[in-house]
Structure 1
Amino acid sequence: MKLHHKINHGWQRPSDPVSETYQREVDRSVEKSEVKWRRAQKAVERATKAKERAERRAAEKPTPTLLAAQEAARRLLLQRLDELRQIEVLMRTPTHVPPTAVHRTGRQDRLEVGQYRKPRKRKTSKQPVKTRRSS
């Protein structure tokens, strides 16, 4: 005897009802992923625009007149800086000789030029003191 078992492919297991907390978690996760996707798309757009700008700048070559104007401006700047350095050198050089210090040492009448030195102390001889007594 031959048994024929027919499989019903259209049948699906009945789903459980979705709870509100689970649905909120799913919605929150979907919103977060959409925000991340939008940010990624904006980043891609910014990157492509930056690439296009860089390519345009690289394609622009400076003209000979622009190069000549830049060189002239650089030359003028160097001349002005040289003048400024010369003025600074003139401002630093002294116009007069600073006077040297003159000190009077002790009661002497002569003047000595240079640094002040204390006069040397005279050594007194240590002799016994003699006294006179009148008798």
Structure 2
Amino acid sequence: MKLKHKINHGWQRPSEPVTDRYQREVDASLRKAEKAWRRAQKAVERAERQAAQHPSPEAIAARGEARRLVLQRLDELRQIEELMHTPTYAPTAVLHRTGRDDRLEVGTYVKPKKKRQPKSPVATRRKP
């Protein structure tokens, strides 16, 4: 079924003018957010100064533990990356598996010798 309705993709909804009330609300929320951000920055600076002046043994131990965990995780990621980069090509010497499934041997393939058929004890007579 073919749809005959064409959508006008170039049309956009006309923007509404910004009212004074809405602009006041935006300005108030902006001032409030900037004030909270300045308070947070001051708190961070104060905490950094205190930590630099008096590092507590708990903070030192926590920092050491965090450092140890990060280094351990980085080592794990390095090992995983090494596993991902192992070569996938076949080894230069091809190994053939010979033998039965219950007695599996690994070695180089040797072509089996042809077995001779033993002569049959039955004599056949051909008619000329």
* TM-score, normalisation: structure 2: 0.37
Give 1 or 2 for the bigger CA radius of gyration.
1
* TM-score, normalisation: structure 1: 0.36
